[in-house]
């Protein structure tokens, strides 16, 4: 969200609506029996650290489904409240998206600010959006997420003695808040439409006259930007954080078959807040119209198989039911981190699941020439070679 808008939203929903960084938080998740809760909490912790949150504890409750009133059970809520007091925590971060009623009830039960996974992801995008289009798309997503939740933050909207749901000042402020956010949503949508239209014209011109595009896709923090840097010789941001890359970058690269446009895209993640889909428009277009995809997977991550499933599903959704996705070359990355027999066994499974594939380390440069040859062969099987030229591919 752009800084100019923050005071306006603060007036209506208070500090509870956002993650600022510096919060002392307990991570909380509810998973059914038999589901790996540790992996979910680990990803939630990575998201929290990316947002600048200090993690002081975790809490996991196993039950068939979250409590409809407060997400966790009453006893668990009381346990979390007492533990937060001992640890000096001021925030709870939940591993799933909460309904407005669940967030309000859990906040009242614990006395803590409650942030769900969707809010956390939205704020990470807001912190890291580097272009006008990305900033507008994230601002729109935040506003659309907050609008139905205004009633949930009743205390922030109510004058002393006025109850939400009455005809008094509290209800008036609630309606004022809704109108202000609706007006801002309309304004941002129009600005975003213009920016997106301009980008679309530029992309269409490039695709008509330029070399074929190759899009790098994958789960967030799988090493896409590191591979992009390795292939292009660039020195763009490649942090060990989720969503280090939000803005699509394009560079010309020379392959043995000729020149291609290599595109680095934002990483995918499970259960992405649907309000953020417009922020993925540049990535969606690059994936849908690419001549080929490099699907990068962190082969050393214990959740690699699940990540592969998520990315495949997203690619299929982007292509749509009436269009086949572009051909995919699977890049099993970070093999320099594979040291245990269990990790070796997982790599073997991934190799069976990912055909065709290349096993490499983008950070160390291992097997990158093999990737170039495999990509060249894939492109040669799809289209005639373009004119040679462009920047050299790094070793």
Q: Which residues lie closer than 8 Å to 133 by C-beta, 6 or more apart?
A: 192, 195, 196, 199, 281, 282
Q: Which of 120, 119, 116 is nearest to 47 (CA)?
A: 120
pLDDT at position 331: 95
What per-residue confidence (pLDDT) applies to 361? 95
pLDDT for residue 172: 63
Q: Give the pLDDT band of residue 378 (cuts 50, 70, 90).
A: very high
pLDDT, tens digit, 9 for 90 and up, residues 53-97 = 999 999 999 999 999 999 999 999 999 999 999 999 999 999 999
Task: Find the mean pLDDT for residues 364-375.
Answer: 94
**What is the model's pLDDT at position 36?**
78
Residue 281 pLDDT: 65
Question: Which range has the worst mean pLDDT, 21-35, 269-283, 342-356?
Answer: 269-283
Q: What class does CATH assign to 212-380?
A: alpha beta
Average pLDDT over residues 176-186: 84
Range in 173-182, 188-197, 354-363 the model is least confident about: 173-182
Q: Quote the pLDDT of residue 247.
A: 60
- Does residue 187 register a pLDDT over 50? yes
Q: Per the structure block, which two tokens stand in for 205?
A: 């011109």
**Distance between CA atoms of residues 238 and 226, nearest Å:** 6
Highest mean pLDDT out of 71-85, 181-195, 250-264, 368-382: 71-85
Backbone angles phi, psi at 150, to 5 degrees: -60, -40
- What does the DSSP assignment read for 150-211? TGGGHHHH--TTPPTTSSSHHHHHHHHHHHHHHHHHHHHHHHHHHHHHHHHHHHHHHHHHSP
The predicted model gives 373-381 an average pLDDT of: 91
- Which three-class secondary structure state does DSSP give residue 10? helix
Q: Which one is predicted more confidently, 6 or 51? A: 51
pLDDT of residue 6: 37
**What was the pLDDT predicted at 155?**
47
- Is 80 exceeded by the pLDDT of residue 245? no
pLDDT at 392 over 70: no
| Inter-residue contact 224 to 296 (CB < 8 Å) | yes
**Ranges 276-280, 321-325, 375-379, most confident:** 375-379
pLDDT of 165 higher than 60 = no
Q: Is the pLDDT of residue 27 over 60?
A: yes
* CA dist., res. 367 & res. 103, Å (int): 48
- Rounded to the nearest integer, the mean pLDDT of the chain is 80
Summarised one tens digit per residue, pLDDT across range 310-341 is 888 888 877 777 778 889 999 999 999 998 88
Residue pair 358/331 in contact (Cβ under 8 Å)? The answer is yes
| Cis upstream peptide for 356 (omega within 30°) | yes
Give pLDDT, residue 141.
Answer: 85
CB 222 within 8 A of CB 296: yes
pLDDT of residue 19: 78
Place 186 in a pLDDT band, splitting at 50, 70 and 90: very high
Give ranges for CATH 3.40.50.300 in the chain: 212-380
Q: Output the pTM of the full model.
A: 0.76
Q: Would you state the structure tokens that stand for residue 1, as one six-digit string?
A: 């969200």
- Binned at pLDDT 50, 70 and 90, residue 129 comes out as confident
List where CATH 3.40.50.11060 sits in the chain.
3-157
pLDDT of residue 2: 40
In the prediction, which pLDDT does 30 show?
Answer: 94
Q: What is the pLDDT of residue 12?
A: 41
Query: Domain 3-157 falls in which CATH fold?
Result: Rossmann fold (3.40.50)
Is residue 133 pLDDT above 90, yes or no? no
């Amino acid at each position: 969200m752009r800084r100019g808008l923050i005071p306006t939203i603060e007036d209506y929903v208070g500090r509870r609506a956002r993650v600022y960084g510096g919060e002392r938080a307990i991570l909380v998740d509810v998973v059914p029996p038999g589901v790996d809760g540790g992996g979910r909490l680990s990803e939630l912790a990575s998201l929290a650290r990316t947002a600048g949150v200090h993690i002081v504890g975790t809490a996991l409750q196993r039950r068939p489904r979250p409590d409809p009133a407060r997400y966790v059970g009453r006893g668990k809520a009381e346990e979390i409240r007492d533990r937060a007091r001992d640890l000096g925590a001021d925030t709870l971060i939940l591993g799933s998206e909460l309904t407005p009623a669940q967030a309000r009830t859990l906040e009242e039960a614990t006395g803590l600010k409650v942030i769900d996974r969707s809010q956390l992801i939205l704020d990470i995008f807001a912190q890291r959006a580097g272009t006008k289009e990305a900033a507008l798309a994230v601002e729109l997503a935040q506003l659309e997420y907050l609008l139905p939740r205004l009633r949930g933050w009743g205390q922030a909207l109510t004058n002393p003695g006025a109850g939400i749901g009455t005809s008094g000042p509290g209800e008036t402020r609630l309606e004022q808040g809704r109108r202000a956010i609706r007006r801002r949503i309309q304004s941002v949508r129009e600005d975003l439409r213009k920016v997106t239209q301009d980008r679309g014209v530029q992309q269409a011109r490039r695709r008509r006259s330029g070399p074929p595009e190759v899009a790098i896709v994958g789960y967030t923090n799988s090493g896409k930007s590191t591979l992009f840097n390795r292939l292009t010789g660039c020195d763009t941001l490649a942090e060990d954080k989720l969503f280090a890359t939000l803005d699509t970058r394009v560079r010309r690269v020379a392959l043995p078959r000729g020149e291609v446009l290599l595109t680095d895209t934002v990483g995918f993640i499970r259960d992405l807040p649907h309000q953020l889909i417009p922020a993925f428009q540049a990535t969606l277009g690059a994936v849908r119209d690419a001549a080929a995809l490099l699907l990068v997977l962190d082969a050393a991550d214990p959740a690699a198989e699940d990540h592969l499933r998520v990315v495949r599903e997203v690619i299929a959704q982007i292509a749509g039911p009436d269009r086949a996705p572009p051909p995919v070359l699977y890049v099993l990355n970070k093999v320099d981190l594979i040291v245990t027999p269990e990790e070796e066994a997982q790599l073997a499974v991934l190799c069976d699941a990912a055909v065709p594939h290349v096993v490499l380390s983008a950070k160390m440069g291992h097997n990158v020439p093999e990737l170039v040859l495999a990509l060249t062969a894939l492109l040669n099987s799809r289209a005639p070679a373009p004119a040679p030229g462009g920047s050299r591919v790094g070793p």
